[in-house]
Amino acid sequence: GSCNTGPVQCCNSVQKADAPGVATLLGLLGIVLQDVNANVGITCSPISVIGGGEGASAQPVCCEDNSHGGVVSIGCMPVSL
């Protein structure tokens, strides 16, 4: 479970950037994405906070851009632990 762009995270939801709701959330946060097919993680936490990934309700992911305070993470790819 390595991630070269930041911590492996567990997100409540991972959806395409152009999905209804996700696009609205990105707009409210002032985040403009060039790639509407990018996977966006919603409400993400580092897995170490959760306790090794046990009890994570969603797929563990590795995201390219985690600079939005955990509300959204951009460019998320599934990882296996």
Tell me the CA end-to-end span of the chain in Å, nearest whole number: 4
Please tell me the predicted confidence (pLDDT) of residue 49: 52
Please tell me the predicted confidence (pLDDT) of residue 48: 66
Q: Residue type at 7?
A: P
Q: Where in the chain are the domains?
A: 9-78
The set of residues, in sequence order, having a beta carbon less than 8 Å from that of 53 and lying 6+ positions away, is: 1, 8, 10, 47, 60, 81
pLDDT tens digits, residue range 44-67? 888 765 444 454 566 789 999 988
Q: What is the mean pLDDT of residues 26-30?
A: 93
Contact 13, 61 (CB under 8 A): no
Contacts 24+ apart (CB under 8 A), 17-24: 17/74
Instruction: Flag whether pLDDT at 2 surpasses 70.
Output: no
